[in-house]
Structure 1
Amino acid sequence: MTFYKTPYTPTLQRPFWLEQSLFTDGGLAPALQGEQTADVCIVGGGYTGLWTAILTKQQNPALDIAVLEADLCGAGASGRNGGCLLTWAAKFFTLRRLFGEAEAIRLVKASEAAVQHIADFCRTHAIDAELRHDGTLYTATNRAQVGTLDPVMAALQACGIESFFALAPSEVARRSGSVKNVAGVFSPHAATVQPAKLVRGLRRVALQMGIRLFERSPMLALSPAQPVIVHTPGGSLTAGKLVLATNAWMASMFASFERSIAIVSSDMVITEPCPELILPSGLTDGVSVLDSRTFVYYYRSTPDGRLMLGKGGNTFAFGGQIAPTYDQRSAYEAPLTRAVRAFFPSLAQVPITASWTGPSDRSVTGFPFFGHLNGAPHIYYGFGYSGSGVGPCYMGGQILSSLLLDQDNAWTRSPLTQGPRGQFPPEPIRYLGANLVRNAIRRKERAEDEDRAPWRVDQFLSQFANAAGKADKA
């Protein structure tokens, strides 16, 4: 039996998105009590776990599926991200290098299709996730960023994939709502959502399908023999198959994954409603805007006229442990607020309603990975979305449901199912190195913003994080 040092402690401060969406979907599910059984147990009630449960149940309605969630569905990354539903097109070069051209093309197309699948699912099941299928703008905010995606665009077009369209600088500024964006390209294959409303909507649909859901039921111990037994504070669940879908928490639960991911924060702020100021700027729909930094600034408006802005790559965890700071108001609220006002000077006097943060499970490649835990054929896992999981988690559900159902298809044959590719250095090298590289990137990008040459040492160190960026290098 394997025990985990992950005692459940309620989150005292709910992220803004989750506060907006709680208790609109039937209240809380019960905690697991006593000895229970199921055909399939899924640990983790976020996007990956719920999509896996739903897609599996759709294909085999007779299966008894139970989902265990340590807190409330959506309390993790699924309910506190920026709501940018993006694809893998911008990372085509990395996909091609890792998996070959044919699989890279398939995965790009699948990631674009996932956006439409999610939109269709919300429409079919009346999930009001504030989903707006208005595309995304990848922009440049200084001369050094101009043309970042041009090689990727050309390579995709050569493969017959029209993922991006070049726009005139004036059109980029107009559609993004900010003259700070001096160039860019547009992709129609993207959307924005209120992320917690999406995950709570999935929760509702899962319950309606007969999937059993137990909230406030953290896994404290696991007996991995078949059938598996998952122990929680109130009881146990015995199942023939198990899926582990706890994402950033996997590193602290399983020593074998401690070096497979690095835990890094993504931090966000959101303004009070101010549609009278946002709409005249030109930001009139649900387009998301991402600049071309390594750790991007990303922003979008909300249907009620707020401006949300976030930035990744701020706080790194030591040893894969989820520190309390990830459940608190963002320590980067002040610089993020300054960024809001740099992009939108007209919002200088608009108050910030809230700030929040959350842990992102950054893999070595920047892509998630899937497999069998310690080779056990009945225990599956999938995580490592690296800060871009709203759309790809649907693909994760396709992979894990295919594995659960013992299917032979493109998903079960994908190299994504072969576990993590590479490891980060051990601690304390990983922690010290991550902060060293992050600070070098900050200095380099500050120099580029000021239109001066960065230090060579900062350029050198920044190369170690290229894969963490939004766009690839050829």
Structure 2
Amino acid sequence: MTAAANPVLPRTLNEPAPFRPFWLAQALTRDPGPAPVPLQGEATADVCIVGGGFTGLWTAIQLKQAQPELDVLIIEKDLCGAGASGRNGGCLLTWSSKFFTLQRLYGEAEACRLVQASEDAVYQIASFCKAHGVDADVRLDGTLYTATNDAQKGMMNPVMQALAERGISSWTQWDALEVQRHAGSAAHQEGWFSPAAGSLQPGLLVRGLARVARQMGVRIHEHTPMLSVLEHHPPQVIVPGGRITAGKVVLAMNAWMAGSFAQFARSIAIVSSDMIITEPRDCLLEHTGLDHGTAVMDSRTFVYYYRSTPDGRIMLGKGGNTFAWGGRMLPSFDQPSAYQEQLHKALRRMFPAWHDVPLAASWNGASDRSVTGLPFFGHLNGHPHIVYGFGYSGNGVGPSYMGGQILAALVRGEDNVWTRSGLVKGPLGFFPPEPVRYLGSLAVRDAIRRKEMAEDHGCKPRALDNWLARFAAAAGKADKA
């Protein structure tokens, strides 16, 4: 049986250089790494991992840590980090704000375990980087979830109370003055702070993970797209220059899974997250009060999120802008953001002192939004030797470490808390078929925009917009991204 995948052939000498988002471009400038070596001919491996982003690399590294003799091979259609791993906001977050969703899906005990595991992942990533010399600008300066209008006030209170009642809360409520001072903006009216979070430079992290994986003996073939998977025993991965026969195959393609495997076409919605970053202004950053690595986000459905960088910049982003039809990868996902002006306007509104600071770059990328707002894992078509994991829904920097734990445990056939988790039951829900999914997503997105604009101006939203906005919450999109 053949599982088809969309071919993405390597770039020829006559083609222009691909667009690189700010983080990845900066990382490649600092350390371009070895020249890509596409795989040619026949190859074998104990484990073949498809995808050289956070999930694939953490899986490879954790497999080698547990079983150094394993022959692990990674193929990546572009460069490691060219997908979401090298272009996200770099906010190192947890699943604590998703407690109610976790509880509803997996039960009380597992929800508590996953919240604590997601916080542990933050510290494990920082410890790994320190131990292996990965200079990814990791700053464990926490996160602030805030309210920026009256309608958002108190939205976080129920989940914070639930966490506290179960003894798993790392959060402290701050008043408006304290939030504004730490977040560097008078736009915030209240907030909750957790130290179990922070920020990092994702391009540097993903390229650093690739370096460490190579040092551990992992073979990495960039510019090697998967054309198809043959669900044989053992499985085979077909690439333009040949094939890999592997004892186990790991599909770590994230948003590309929907367009590559028909059974996942309705498991996720592909939606952009758009970002801008300023030119550096060290003195102005210190004056603003953002000379730290705290990740800040508001309580909108599609949140505004921002953080500073060690070299004196502000990065600001917002999800939920461009939706793709049928899980397709749009060309606009690999270009400067079409929402640059709107984001710049939001940045100037939040930080008036930065009004005249020019932007260094804008970019966006495809986010794999699942129905639950959480990733899911499993065996492809029940095949015992082909596993997958994706659906991080805009929060993958920290949780991808857990994704590596899950996939490594599945590959090794372990019986533990990860392989018994509800996360390993595959997708827990599906979006409607097209055109309902696409048209419905646009209708809900636009209703949310109108609703939140009214709330920003202290007005009561229209009843229809309130009603439509509830569909986003039902689809898990109201969780913190």
Checking the alignment, whether the CA contact within 8 Å between 1:148 and 1:471 is kept in structure 2 is no
After superposing on structure 2, the runs of 4+ consecutive aligned residues of structure 1 that deviate more than 4 Å are none
CA distance in 2, matches of 1:233, 1:40: 19
Match of 1:416 in 2: 423
Does residue 1:197 correspond to 2:186, yes or no? no
CA distance in 1, matches of 2:49, 2:90: 24
Map 1:344-423 to 2 at 5 A: 344-423=351-430
Map 1:210-359 to 2 at 5 A: 210-359=217-366
Normalised by the length of structure 2, the TM-score is 0.97
Does residue 1:20 correspond to 2:20, yes or no? no
CA distance in 2, matches of 1:386, 1:53: 22
Does residue 1:137 correspond to 2:138, yes or no? no
Does residue 1:124 correspond to 2:125, yes or no? no
Q: Secondary structure at the match of 2:192?
A: strand
Question: Which one-letter code corresponds to 1:8 in the other structure?
Answer: L
CA distance in 2, matches of 1:329, 1:283: 25
- Greater shift in the superposed pair: 107-116 or 462-471: 462-471
Deviation at 1:471, TM superposition (A): 4.7
Corresponding pairs, count: 472
Question: Which one-letter code corresponds to 1:160 in the other structure?
Answer: G
Change in CA separation of 1:101 and 1:2 when aligned onto 2, cut-off 3 Å = closer
Deviation at 1:246, TM superposition (A): 0.2
CA distance in 1, matches of 2:8, 2:177: 53
CA distance in 2, matches of 1:390, 1:471: 13
Does residue 1:39 correspond to 2:46, yes or no? yes
Deviations 1:391-428 (A, max 9, x none): 00000000000111111110000000000001000001
Match of 1:52 among 53, 56, 59: 59
Deviations 1:262-317 (A, max 9, x none): 00000000000012212111112000100000000000110000010000000000
Does residue 1:62 correspond to 2:63, yes or no? no
Match of 1:468 in 2: 477
Checking the alignment, whether the CA contact within 8 Å between 2:258 and 2:266 is kept in structure 1 is yes
Checking the alignment, whether the CA contact within 8 Å between 2:4 and 2:261 is kept in structure 1 is no
Q: Secondary structure at the match of 1:319?
A: helix
Question: Which one-letter code corresponds to 2:206 in the other structure?
Answer: V
CA distance in 2, matches of 1:191, 1:157: 21
Deviations 1:424-472 (A, max 9, x none): 0000110000000000000000000000100000000000111212359
Q: Secondary structure at the match of 1:367?
A: coil
Question: Which one-letter code corresponds to 2:28 in the other structure?
Answer: L
CA distance in 2, matches of 1:437, 1:9: 37
Checking the alignment, whether the CA contact within 8 Å between 2:138 and 2:200 is kept in structure 1 is yes
Does residue 1:441 correspond to 2:448, yes or no? yes
Deviation at 1:5, TM superposition (A): 2.8
Question: Which one-letter code corresponds to 2:158 in the other structure?
Answer: P
Checking the alignment, whether the CA contact within 8 Å between 2:369 and 2:394 is kept in structure 1 is yes
Checking the alignment, whether the CA contact within 8 Å between 1:293 and 1:470 is kept in structure 2 is no
CA distance in 2, matches of 1:344, 1:129: 26
Does residue 1:458 correspond to 2:465, yes or no? yes
Q: Secondary structure at the match of 1:452?
A: coil
Match of 1:154 in 2: 161
Change in CA separation of 1:113 and 1:301 when aligned onto 2, cut-off 3 Å = same
Deviation at 1:233, TM superposition (A): 1.2
Checking the alignment, whether the CA contact within 8 Å between 1:42 and 1:242 is kept in structure 2 is yes
CA distance in 2, matches of 1:471, 1:66: 34
Gaps of 5+ in 1: none
Deviation at 1:71, TM superposition (A): 0.3
Deviations 1:317-357 (A, max 9, x none): 00000010000010000000001101100111000111000
Identity among equivalent positions (%) equals 60
CA distance in 1, matches of 2:320, 2:131: 36
Q: Secondary structure at the match of 2:327?
A: coil
Map 1:62-101 to 2 at 5 A: 62-101=69-108
Q: Secondary structure at the match of 1:53?
A: helix
Deviation at 1:43, TM superposition (A): 0.2
Match of 2:14 in 1: none
Deviation at 1:2, TM superposition (A): 3.5
CA distance in 2, matches of 1:2, 1:471: 34
Change in CA separation of 1:2 and 1:470 when aligned onto 2, cut-off 3 Å = closer
Match of 1:5 in 2: 6
Checking the alignment, whether the CA contact within 8 Å between 2:10 and 2:223 is kept in structure 1 is no
Deviation at 1:156, TM superposition (A): 0.4
Normalised by the length of structure 1, the TM-score is 0.98
CA distance in 1, matches of 2:459, 2:35: 54
Question: Which one-letter code corresponds to 1:16 in the other structure?
Answer: F
Q: Secondary structure at the match of 2:208?
A: helix
Deviation at 1:224, TM superposition (A): 1.1
Checking the alignment, whether the CA contact within 8 Å between 1:288 and 1:298 is kept in structure 2 is yes
Deviation at 1:231, TM superposition (A): 1.2
Change in CA separation of 1:471 and 1:72 when aligned onto 2, cut-off 3 Å = closer
Checking the alignment, whether the CA contact within 8 Å between 1:57 and 1:63 is kept in structure 2 is yes
User: Alignment RMSD, CA only?
Assistant: 1.1
Deviation at 1:26, TM superposition (A): 2.6
Question: Which one-letter code corresponds to 1:391 in the other structure?
Answer: G
Gaps of 5+ in 2: 12-16
Question: Which one-letter code corresponds to 1:468 in the other structure?
Answer: K
Change in CA separation of 1:365 and 1:297 when aligned onto 2, cut-off 3 Å = same
Checking the alignment, whether the CA contact within 8 Å between 1:295 and 1:312 is kept in structure 2 is yes
Question: Which one-letter code corresponds to 1:7 in the other structure?
Answer: V
Question: Which one-letter code corresponds to 1:303 in the other structure?
Answer: P
Question: Which one-letter code corresponds to 2:20 in the other structure?
Answer: R
CA distance in 2, matches of 1:158, 1:9: 53
Q: Secondary structure at the match of 2:427?
A: coil
Deviation at 1:25, TM superposition (A): 5.4
CA distance in 1, matches of 2:8, 2:26: 27
